[in-house]
Amino acid sequence: MTQQFSSTIYKLGINPCVEVPLRVSRALGKRGYIPVAGELNGKPFLANLVPIGEGRHRLFINGEMRERARVDVGSRITVVLRVDSRPRRVLMPKELARALRSNRDVKAAWGLLTPSRQKEILRYLNFAKRPETLQRNIKKVIALLQKKLPPEEQLGGIRVRER
């Protein structure tokens, strides 16, 4: 079922977003985080609606979405949403897959990460545009999984936590 609404983008902290009308949240028929596919001023996007209480949701408008739709904070937008039940997979770089296969301990440490943490790391790695950057970031991930990096070492804000 497709739902449509219009709203003005505002900033919450540093994050541009819009409030999803209660009627839309209810029509989507779910509580909690809702994976959605939609259009922002006619430009397609995938996102998650974030629960804000009392059955309501918020949609954060990331930089890519704003750029594609040519909007920014203060812009009036039209949003079309539908629940997206397709699995959202993030591809593992071949170099990381090889590193995991070649080191049992690192593979075991990877397995201790929650699926959401694994996905976050994979997104971080896939963001690299140059092969040298990817290699450097994979080395950081491996070192982090081997716990050879000090706890304060940043990896795009990612920390390893055991389940």
Q: Which residues are CB-contacts of 151 (< 8 A; sequence separation ≥ 6)?
A: 159
Structure tokens belonging to residue 110: 């990877």
- Per the CB < 8 A criterion, the answer to whether 157 and 117 are in contact is no
pLDDT of 120 reads 87
Q: Which residues are CB-contacts of 66 (< 8 A; sequence separation ≥ 6)?
A: 9, 16, 72
Predicted TM-score (pTM) of the model is 0.63
Q: Do both 60 and 103 map to the same domain?
A: no
56-98 confidence digits (pLDDT tens): 999 999 999 999 999 999 999 999 999 998 887 889 999 999 9
Share of the chain above pLDDT 70, in %: 90
How many CB atoms sit inside 10 A of residue 25's CB?
23
Please report which confidence band the pLDDT of residue 163 belongs to, taking 50, 70 and 90 as the band edges. very low
Give the range of the structural domain holding residue 57, as residue numbers without chain letter. 3-83
Please report, for the domain that includes residue 13, its CATH number: 2.40.30.100
